[in-house]
């Protein structure tokens, strides 16, 4: 059986004015459905680049990426957009909510191009906001919410199309430890509900919730431990 996500010898080289630097250098990985993978590494190790390639936001310089049996390199820009909408939920460190929209409207944004009634979209958004612990705050603007609440809105937005994969880039990076724990609880719940979670993080405390840890160093996979023994022993 094919792996759910597969990277084969993926390299990403950024070049400018004759200089070039490899953000990823021959990375090969296979991730099964339902895994909770934490990607760690120093700054510049290639974590975020790996995440954007996995999310179809970026095409690698070389190598192949497939997800659910689909070769992402074969998809057009719009094909990749459709694929992201149906398959992937993105969660960013800085939330990236639209500041002029309420929490409900932010969750509804990915549904904007869809032909659905406004009522159905609002009901779906309200249900998701309730599931991430924000009932009663649907009409608040991001400026009226705490950091943790903003991240919950961002998670609800990522879940709006019920994607099987969640890609999170430092989702607790801007939060205090207590709030960060609450957000990680949410991710654990989503993982238990069957989602495949890939999370880039600096925080080793996040590792204890994951089923697998991948450490990148200089664009290469330095460690890939499906049992997290080194970390759990810490």
Helix (H, G, I), strand (E, B) or coil at 171: coil
Nearer to other proteins (CB atom), residue 150 or residue 207? 150
Applying CB under 8 A, the site for other proteins has a residue count of 34
Report whether 186 contacts 164 (CB < 8 A): no
Which residues, numbered 29-58, are part of the site for other proteins (CB under 8 A)? 52, 55, 57-58
Q: Which secondary structure element, helix H or strand E, spans residue 167, and what is its range?
A: strand 165-169
DSSP letters for 176-188: -HHHHHHHHHHHH
Report whether 56 contacts 78 (CB < 8 A): no
Site string for other proteins, 157-176 (x = CB under 8 A): xx--x-------x-------
Cα–Cα distances in angstroms (integers) from residue 118 to residues 98, 105, 109, 134, in the given order: 18, 10, 11, 20
Q: From the CB of residue 222, how many other CB atoms can be counted at a distance below 10 Å?
A: 13
Site for other proteins contains 1 (CB under 8 A): no
| Given 109, 140, 209, 226, the residue binding other proteins (CB under 8 A) | 109
Report whether 137 contacts 155 (CB < 8 A): no
Nearer to other proteins (CB atom), residue 100 or residue 208? 100
Nearer to other proteins (CB atom), residue 167 or residue 186? 167
| Given 111, 190, 200, 214, the residue binding other proteins (CB under 8 A) | 111
217 Cβ contact partners less than 8 Å away, ≥ 6 residues apart:
41, 42, 45
| Given 99, 136, 178, 233, the residue binding other proteins (CB under 8 A) | 99
Nearer to other proteins (CB atom), residue 33 or residue 141? 141
Query: Which residue ranges make up the site for other proteins (CB under 8 A)?
Result: 52, 55, 57-58, 77-78, 81-82, 84-86, 90, 92-94, 96, 98-101, 105, 108-113, 118, 121-122, 157-158, 161, 169
């Amino acid at each position: 059986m094919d792996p759910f996500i597969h990277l084969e010898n993926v390299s990403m080289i950024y070049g400018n004015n004759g200089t070039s630097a490899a953000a990823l250098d021959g990375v090969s990985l296979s991730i099964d459905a339902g895994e909770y993978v934490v990607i760690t590494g120093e700054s510049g190790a290639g974590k975020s680049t790996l995440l954007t390639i996995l999310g179809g936001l970026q095409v690698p310089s070389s190598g192949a990426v497939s997800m659910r049996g689909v070769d992402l390199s074969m998809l057009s820009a719009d094909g990749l957009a459709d694929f992201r909408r149906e398959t992937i939920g993105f969660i960013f460190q800085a939330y990236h909510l639209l500041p002029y929209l309420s929490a409900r409207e932010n969750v509804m944004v990915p549904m904007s191009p869809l032909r659905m009634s406004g009522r159905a979209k609002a009901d779906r958004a309200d249900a998701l906001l309730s599931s991430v612990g924000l009932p009663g705050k649907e009409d608040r603007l991001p400026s009226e919410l705490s950091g943790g609440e903003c991240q919950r809105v961002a998670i609800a937005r990522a879940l709006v199309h019920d994607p099987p994969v969640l890609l999170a880039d430092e989702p607790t990076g801007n939060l205090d430890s207590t709030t960060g724990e609450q957000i990680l609880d949410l991710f654990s719940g989503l993982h238990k509900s069957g989602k495949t979670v890939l999370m880039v993080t600096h925080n080793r405390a996040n590792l204890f919730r994951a089923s697998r840890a991948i450490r990148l160093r200089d664009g290469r996979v330095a460690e890939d431990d499906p049992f997290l023994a080194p970390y759990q022993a810490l």
